[in-house]
Structure 1
Amino acid sequence: MTTAPHAHAHRRERPFVPFALPDTIAALPRRPFAFSRAGLDAAAAASADPGALYRLLLREQESEAPLLLARRILDAFLHPDGDRGSGPQQAPDTGDIATEVAEARRQLAATARSLRDLDPEPRRAVLLQRAPVTLLAGCWLASVSQPATQPSVIVNRLFTHHLTLRGNGDTRRGLTHLRRRALENEGIHLPPIAAVDFLDKARARPLTALHGCFHLALARLPANFLPEVVGVHYAFHTLGTDDLLTATPPPLSEDELGRTLATYLDLAGPDERRRLHHAVRLTLDLEREHLTLLTELASRQTGLTLEAKVAEIISRHAPMAGTQHGSVRVGDRLMSDIFRSRSHPREASAPPDLAAFLTDLRASPYLRPTGPGHGDCRLTDATKFGGPMFGILDERETATLRAWAARVQAGERPVIEIPPDTVGREQAERRGTAIARSAPDDIVLAETEPRDHRELFHRLVNIENFPHTLPLAAERAERCFQDAEILFVHGSGGRYTDASWFDYSPQALYERAERIYWEKLIEPYRPLRDIPDRDEVLFRQSTFYLTYLIDGAWLHRLARPGHDERDSDAMLFAIYADEMGNGDLRKNHITLTHRVLASAGIELPHIRDEAFMEQDELPDNLYGFAIQQLCMCLFPDRFYNEIIGYNLAIEMFGSGEMRLHEIQKLRHHGIDTCYEQAHLTIDNFSAGHAKQAADIIVSHLDGVRRLLGEAAVAGEWRRVWRGYASFAYFLEQPLLKKVTEDPPDEALTELVI
Structure 2
Amino acid sequence: MPVSTAETATADGTACRTLYRRAADPEGVPPGADWVARTRAELDGAAGWDGGSGPPDSGGAGLDGLRGLVGTWAEEERDRYRVLCDGSGETAGVLAARAALACAPFAAHDGAWLQWMSAAGNADGTAALRLLALYASDVGVGGARASRGDTYVASLRAAGLAQYAEPAARLALDGRIADRDFYLPALLLAMSRLPDEFRPEILGADLCLTAVGAVPPLVAAAPLLPPGGRSGPGPGRDPVRSEHRWNTVRACLSPRGDDNRRAVTGFVWAWQALRRWSGDLHGDLRCARDPAYGMAELLRARAREGAVYHDRFLLAGRPVSAWLEECRADPAGFLEVLAASTLVRPGRSRESRLVNGLVLQRGPMFRVFSPEDLTVIRRWIDSLPREPGAPPAGPARPRASYPVPQETPCHLPSRRTPGRRSPDSGGPSDLRSAYFLLQGRPRTPALRRYTLDYLRGWLARSRHGIDRDPRPLLPAAWPRKGLRPWLLDQHDRHDRERATDGAPLPSRGELIDATVQLAPLTLIDGAWLQGFTDYALASSEHGRFLFETYWDELGNGMPSLNHPLIYRQVLAEMGVTLPPTASREFARWPGFREESFALPVYWLSIGRYPRTCLPEVLGLNLAMELSGVGGGYRRAHTALKEHGFSTRFVDIHNTIDNVATGHAAWAADAVDAYMASALQTRGPQAQSADWQRVRAGFRSLDPPGGFRARRAGHRARRSPRGRARGWEEAEA
Normalised to the residue count of structure 1, the TM-score between the two structures is 0.79
Question: Following the alignment from structure 1 to structure 2, what is the Cα–Cα distance between the partners of residues 705 and 198?
Answer: 28
User: Contact between 1:383 and 1:391, CA under 8 Å: does it hold in 2?
Assistant: yes
Residue 196 of structure 1, CA deviation: 6.1
Question: Following the alignment from structure 1 to structure 2, what is the Cα–Cα distance between the partners of residues 51 and 593?
Answer: 45
Residue 444 of structure 1, CA deviation: 5.2
Question: Following the alignment from structure 1 to structure 2, what is the Cα–Cα distance between the partners of residues 187 and 620?
Answer: 57
Residue 539 of structure 1, CA deviation: 1.8
Counterpart pick for 2:338 among 353, 361, 377: 361
- Structure 1: gaps of 5 or more residues: 1-40, 343-350, 749-753
Aligned to 2:645: 671
> Residues 399 and 98 from structure 1, CA distance in 2 versus in 1: closer, same or farther, beyond 3 angstroms?
same
User: Higher mean Cα deviation, 81-90 or 207-216?
Assistant: 81-90
User: Higher mean Cα deviation, 221-230 or 244-253?
Assistant: 244-253
Question: Following the alignment from structure 2 to structure 1, what is the Cα–Cα distance between the partners of residues 211 and 8?
Answer: 34
Amino acid at match of 2:558: D
Question: Following the alignment from structure 1 to structure 2, what is the Cα–Cα distance between the partners of residues 241 and 665?
Answer: 55
Are 1:569 and 2:543 matched, yes or no? yes
User: Contact between 1:338 and 1:352, CA under 8 Å: does it hold in 2?
Assistant: no
User: Higher mean Cα deviation, 403-412 or 603-612?
Assistant: 403-412
Question: Following the alignment from structure 2 to structure 1, what is the Cα–Cα distance between the partners of residues 512 and 334?
Answer: 83
Are 1:419 and 2:419 matched, yes or no? no
Are 1:604 and 2:578 matched, yes or no? yes
Measured on the aligned residues, the alpha-carbon RMSD in Å equals: 4.0
Q: Deviations over 1:455-476 (max 9, x none)?
A: 1111111341645311221222
Are 1:64 and 2:29 matched, yes or no? yes
Residue 63 of structure 1, CA deviation: 3.3
User: Contact between 2:537 and 2:544, CA under 8 Å: does it hold in 1?
Assistant: no
Matches within 5 A, 1:230-379: 230-242=203-215, 245=219, 247-248=230-231, 250=237, 253-265=241-253, 267-302=254-289, 304=290, 306-319=291-304, 323=308, 330=315, 339=324, 351-364=328-341, 366-367=343-344, 374-379=350-355
User: Contact between 2:139 and 2:538, CA under 8 Å: does it hold in 1?
Assistant: no
- Structure 2: gaps of 5 or more residues: 1-5, 87-91, 223-229, 393-398, 718-732
Are 1:453 and 2:431 matched, yes or no? yes
User: Contact between 2:44 and 2:265, CA under 8 Å: does it hold in 1?
Assistant: no
Residue 127 of structure 1, CA deviation: 2.9
Amino acid at match of 1:308: Y
User: Contact between 1:662 and 1:676, CA under 8 Å: does it hold in 2?
Assistant: yes
Q: Deviations over 1:157-212 (max 9, x none)?
A: 11111121122422455322333455567664453354564234373333321111
Are 1:540 and 2:514 matched, yes or no? yes
Are 1:398 and 2:363 matched, yes or no? no
Question: Following the alignment from structure 2 to structure 1, what is the Cα–Cα distance between the partners of residues 710 and 265?
Answer: 61
User: Contact between 2:616 and 2:696, CA under 8 Å: does it hold in 1?
Assistant: yes
Report SS of the residue matched to 1:550: coil
Aligned to 2:75: 109
Residue 264 of structure 1, CA deviation: 2.6
Aligned to 1:20: none
Q: How many residues align?
A: 677
Q: Deviations over 1:495-533 (max 9, x none)?
A: xx425x612233364444333332246544457673322
Are 1:477 and 2:477 matched, yes or no? no
Aligned to 2:619: 645
User: Contact between 2:109 and 2:168, CA under 8 Å: does it hold in 1?
Assistant: no
Question: Following the alignment from structure 1 to structure 2, what is the Cα–Cα distance between the partners of residues 446 and 665?
Answer: 41
User: Contact between 1:151 and 1:585, CA under 8 Å: does it hold in 2?
Assistant: yes
> Residues 84 and 636 from structure 1, CA distance in 2 versus in 1: closer, same or farther, beyond 3 angstroms?
farther
Report SS of the residue matched to 1:242: coil
User: Contact between 2:105 and 2:168, CA under 8 Å: does it hold in 1?
Assistant: no
Question: Following the alignment from structure 1 to structure 2, what is the Cα–Cα distance between the partners of residues 508 and 105?
Answer: 52
Are 1:169 and 2:158 matched, yes or no? no
Are 1:51 and 2:21 matched, yes or no? no
Aligned to 2:727: none
Residue 693 of structure 1, CA deviation: 0.8
Question: Following the alignment from structure 1 to structure 2, what is the Cα–Cα distance between the partners of residues 291 and 454?
Answer: 50
Report SS of the residue matched to 1:126: helix
Question: Following the alignment from structure 1 to structure 2, what is the Cα–Cα distance between the partners of residues 309 and 711?
Answer: 48
Q: Deviations over 1:567-608 (max 9, x none)?
A: 112222111111121111211222222222222222222222
> Residues 298 and 447 from structure 1, CA distance in 2 versus in 1: closer, same or farther, beyond 3 angstroms?
same
Matches within 5 A, 1:112-191: 112-116=78-82, 118-119=85-86, 120=92, 121-181=94-154, 183=156, 188-189=161-162, 191=164
Report SS of the residue matched to 1:586: helix
Amino acid at match of 1:597: L
Question: Following the alignment from structure 1 to structure 2, what is the Cα–Cα distance between the partners of residues 659 and 502?
Answer: 28
Report SS of the residue matched to 2:298: helix
Aligned to 1:75: 40
Identical columns (%): 20
User: Contact between 2:7 and 2:412, CA under 8 Å: does it hold in 1?
Assistant: no
Question: Following the alignment from structure 1 to structure 2, what is the Cα–Cα distance between the partners of residues 52 and 741?
Answer: 42
Question: Following the alignment from structure 1 to structure 2, what is the Cα–Cα distance between the partners of residues 254 and 396?
Answer: 38
Question: Following the alignment from structure 2 to structure 1, what is the Cα–Cα distance between the partners of residues 52 and 620?
Answer: 46
> Residues 365 and 474 from structure 1, CA distance in 2 versus in 1: closer, same or farther, beyond 3 angstroms?
farther
Counterpart pick for 1:498 among 454, 460, 473: 473
Residue 551 of structure 1, CA deviation: 0.9
Question: Following the alignment from structure 1 to structure 2, what is the Cα–Cα distance between the partners of residues 409 and 274?
Answer: 57
Residue 220 of structure 1, CA deviation: 0.7
Amino acid at match of 2:19: L
Matches within 5 A, 1:670-749: 670-729=644-703, 733=705, 736=706
Residue 700 of structure 1, CA deviation: 1.3
